[in-house]
Homo-oligomer: A and B are copies of this chain.
Amino acid sequence: MNFLEERIMKDGVVKPGNVLKVDSFLNHQMDMKLLDRIGAEIKRRFEGENITKVLTIESSGIAIACSVARELDVPMVFAKKAQSVNLDGEMYVAEVDSYTSKRKNLVIVSKKYLSAGDRVLVVDDFLANGCALQGLISLVEDADAEVAGCAIAIEKGFQEGGYRIRNLGYRLESLAIVDSMDPDTGSITFRTQA
């Protein structure tokens, strides 16, 4: 097990409905040392990829994306969720389904902050059905920028997001892939990664 898997085993809580609570260290209370270790590991995996920008989506991706961007010494941009948007041509816009709120959100990024020539690393805390990640990827491609890859802290391997993104040909690195969880015993099975 790597450091993140170990931390999930120690402090993660499995709830019914395939919910994994990691809010004591990753998405409500944040352990900065853990975040920085995640940032360093993601940097290591994408070394040599000439990344020029890190892109995430508000809110819980921001902290991890900051740590990654600091390590890579590039700016971080976070896409904003909007209920509606004045399409004045200054924004890239994508529509995403929200898994948690069960409604459609628009995600937007100012055209000033993604450009042709950028090599973008898309970062988020969780990957489940992949809708948020696909929205972010479409923002990058609307800007004629290049997706250098996607980096995720925790992938729910039993949902289709990881399969879908890899199947589209994107490089996707997830530091921990949960293949199954049992709310009765609290047990978590991680996918063995090379």
Contacts and interface: CB of A to CB of B under 8 A. Distances in A.
Contact of A78 (B30, B31, B67): B30
A112 to B, nearest CB: 7
A5 to B, nearest CB: 21
Contact of A31 (B62, B63, B75): B75
Contact of A24 (B76, B109, B112): B112
A113 to B, nearest CB: 4
A113 B32 CA distance: 15
Given A58-B59, A113-B24, A66 B32 contact: yes
Interface of A: 23-24, 28-32, 35-36, 58-59, 62-63, 66-67, 69-70, 73, 75-78, 80, 109-110, 112-113
